[in-house]
Amino acid sequence: MAEDNDSPEKNKQLDDRLNYLESVARDTVARLYEIEKRLGLVFGAVPRELKTATRDERADQLSRLRAAEEALKSTAPEKQAAQKEQHTTESRQPRETSGRSEQAPPLRPARVPDQPGHIETPAAPVQPITAFPPTPAEHSKAGTTPTAVFSEPHVAKAPPTALHPVTPASRAEQMRQPQTLRPHEASQERPDLESRIGGRWLLWIGVIAISFGMAFFLKYAFDNQWITPGWRINIGVAIGLAFLICAERLRGRYPIYSNGLSGGGIFILYLSIFVGFNTYALIPQLLAFVLMAAVTATASLLAARYSALPIAILGLIGGFLTPILLSTGVDNEVGLFGYIALLDLGVLALAYSKHWRSLNYMAFVATVAMFAAWMISWYRPEKLWTTITFMTVFFMIFALLAVFHNVIKRRPTLWIDLAMVFSNALLYFSLSYELLDDNHHGILGLFAVLVSGFYMLLGYFAYNRDREDSLLIYTFLGLAFLFAVLAVPIQLDQHWVTMGWALEGAAMTWIGLRSGDRTSRYGALVVFGVAVAHWFRVDVQEFAYHANEVFLPLLNRRAISCAVLVGALAASVMFYKRMKSNVGEEERSMFSGLYLLGANTLAVILLSIDANDYFEQAKVASSATDHVMSVGN
């Protein structure tokens, strides 16, 4: 009976303890849930009933706890051991109270949002909590207030993984490593000859064939008077515009074919406007000029928009042919050169934005050709200063071109860039000398100094902006030295052409050795050949001894130009000797021997012809004296 009486009391005590543990667990989980919510972590499977207990609930829990403690004090020690064993057994089984599970749902590990460079690794297994909170009786024995004590869960370490986080540094290191193309990728990057012929060459051949076919058809129709002249021009313009519209519509799917259609449309528009002006006189000159300029601008815009170099070349050709095709036989220097200057600026701006160097060279050649053709046909002395002004404008445009393309953009200088720099400088100075020599010879020395100072400034700017481009820097400085040296013989009325070629050869040799550029060194050999040929063909003949002239051996204009040429060859030999580490032994021995042989040969030839002219002068003087004496007798 005693056991029956103890059974309800024991159950009540166990129920109180379980309620107490449940309240502690619920409070702890609720606090953890609030913490995770504030940290922004994802928390899954949280019962909706988890919340912090109110004040009344806490008071009720405390009263029940005290009642349980009083009951436990009167319980025998052996009963306490049995209760502990029974409590342990029951706590491991799920027990429902008020329609819900006593066992709290397992907490899922929070998932950290994906971050760049983060590689998720498998989560380590978490061991279950084995410690159990102390009983209220144990708290009372220890003299402490009951608190929930949880042991830290034991987290097993995850096995080491071979994956490493991808950091920006490692990603940059991977980007710096050379990428190897697979065979099929290499074939896509470099189309073979067959694809170029079928995809590009035949396309342009077809466009040209269609254009010529249209021209012959229209000519046949015109010859048979099928179409009036006005409608002929309208049909040509309509066909050209149709080509451009079709090219625009096909641009997305067939870019190569659309470029061909655009080029054909531009060509047909040029042809239609020219025929309307020149053949039928239906379009006035000013209107035709404006229309052709508009077609050129359209070609430039299409080339810039679609990165189509062939269209840009077609626009360049059409732009320079426009003044020739629309010429009426009347000179208009300001209008012609103003148009060419604007055309050069537009073409060079397009080449600068698209990195098309070929447009620079073609624009330079076309400008020189147009200027030379005008000089031959229309130049008169009264147009001197207008001509010098436009020459200076063109010279500045192409001189600064190397600065914009090579210095500011930091592109490596090629041999063709140097060729254009040298050609621009020499053509400008030579033509200016020829124009100013007759009536303004006294300012030519100052003019050479000004050109030298201009190239000195370019060299200084290139040195401060891009010191790695030593080839261009030495070229600018070499030209500055060349014109500074030429200022002296020009001002002293010496024959400077041979001297100029000789000094340029020495400067190119020095530039080629300092910068390690073989093209400049081989170019210097060609320049020396031109200087030697000019000395034999011009200086030897023009400055030889003539009757009724005083001839001084080694102090005449022929000897001075030859001395400069010999000195330039000797200086080149010295450059090869001092900078022999910058060139191969074979080239050094060959060029040094050739220059040394040329210098000695020229010196011997000069001494021979000067001695011959001196004795010829003495012979003439002796003959004249004998003649005077015979007449006197």
Q: With beta carbons less than 8 A apart as the criterion, state whether 247 and 262 touch.
A: yes
443/177: higher pLDDT: 443
pTM score, whole prediction: 0.56
Pick the closest to residue 340 from 353, 313, 321, 357 (CA basis): 321
Cα separations (Å) of 400 from 169, 404, 405, 511, 570?
A: 40, 6, 9, 20, 33
Residues contacting residue 331 through CB under 8 Å, at least 6 positions apart: 378
pLDDT tens digits, 281-302: 888 888 999 999 999 999 999 9
- Dihedral, 246, 252, 253, 258 alpha carbons, nearest 10: 40
pLDDT at 129: 42
Cα 113 → chain centroid:
39
Q: Which two tokens stand for residue 568?
A: 């330039």
In a domain? residue 136: yes
Strand residue runs (E) in 63-153: 96-97, 100-101
pLDDT at 295: 92
Q: Which two tokens stand for residue 578?
A: 């001092």
User: What's the rounded Cα separation, in Å, for the pair 633 and 627?
Assistant: 10
φ, ψ of residue 126 to 5 degrees: the values are -105, 125
pLDDT at 367: 96
Strand residue runs (E) in 91-133: 96-97, 100-101
Rounded to an integer, the average pLDDT of 357-363 is 92
User: What's the rounded Cα separation, in Å, for the pair 569 and 49?
Assistant: 103
φ, ψ of residue 319 to 5 degrees: the values are -65, -40
Q: What percent of the chain has pLDDT over 90?
A: 26
Q: Which two tokens stand for residue 325?
A: 């095709």
DSSP string of 323-384?
HHHT--S---HHHHHHHHHHHHHHHHHHHHHHT-HHHHHHHHHHHHHHHHHHHHHH--GGGH
Query: How does residue 40 score in pLDDT terms, banded at 50, 70 and 90?
Result: low
Q: Which is it for strands 96-97 and 100-101: parallel, antiparallel or unpaired?
A: antiparallel
If you search the block for the tokens 């003539």, which residue do you land on?
A: 546
Q: Kindly tell me if the per-residue pLDDT of 597 is higher than 90.
A: yes
Identify the three-state secondary structure at position 155: strand
pLDDT at 577: 92
Weakest-pLDDT range from 121-135, 336-350, 469-483? 121-135
Cα 173 → chain centroid:
22
Count of alpha carbons within 13 angstroms of residue 595, beta-carbon side: 30
pLDDT tens digits, 528-560: 999 999 899 888 887 776 656 677 888 888 888
In a domain? residue 260: no
Rounded to an integer, the average pLDDT of 228-237 is 84
Rounded to an integer, the average pLDDT of 20-36 is 81
Pick the closest to residue 318 from 267, 357, 360 (CA basis): 267
Rounded to an integer, the average pLDDT of 454-468 is 90
Rounded to an integer, the average pLDDT of 40-45 is 54
Q: Kindly tell me if the per-residue pLDDT of 500 is higher than 60.
A: yes
In a domain? residue 532: no
Rounded to an integer, the average pLDDT of 301-326 is 89
pLDDT at 328: 78
Q: Which two tokens stand for residue 69?
A: 């403690």
In a domain? residue 86: yes
In a domain? residue 168: no
User: What's the rounded Cα separation, in Å, for the pair 81 and 92?
Assistant: 17
User: What's the rounded Cα separation, in Å, for the pair 55 and 32?
Assistant: 20
pLDDT at 361: 93
Residues contacting residue 491 through CB under 8 Å, at least 6 positions apart: 444, 445
Weakest-pLDDT range from 46-50, 96-100, 408-412? 96-100
Q: Kindly tell me if the per-residue pLDDT of 190 is higher than 60.
A: no
- Amino acid making up residue 408: I
In a domain? residue 125: no
If you search the block for the tokens 């012929």, which residue do you land on?
A: 197
Would you give the DSSP letter of residue 166?
A: -
Identify the three-state secondary structure at position 197: helix
φ, ψ of residue 226 to 5 degrees: the values are -75, -30
Please tell me the total count of domains within the chain: 1
pLDDT at 570: 95
In a domain? residue 74: yes
User: What's the rounded Cα separation, in Å, for the pair 466 and 477?
Assistant: 14
Q: Kindly tell me if the per-residue pLDDT of 572 is higher than 90.
A: yes
Residues contacting residue 620 through CB under 8 Å, at least 6 positions apart: 547
- Amino acid making up residue 190: R
Angle made by CA atoms 528, 533, 534, in degrees to the nearest 5: 95
pLDDT at 398: 94
Identify the three-state secondary structure at position 179: coil
pLDDT at 225: 74
Domain range enclosing 18: 1-100+130-145
User: What's the rounded Cα separation, in Å, for the pair 25 and 104?
Assistant: 8
In a domain? residue 49: yes
Q: Which two tokens stand for residue 431?
A: 């033509």
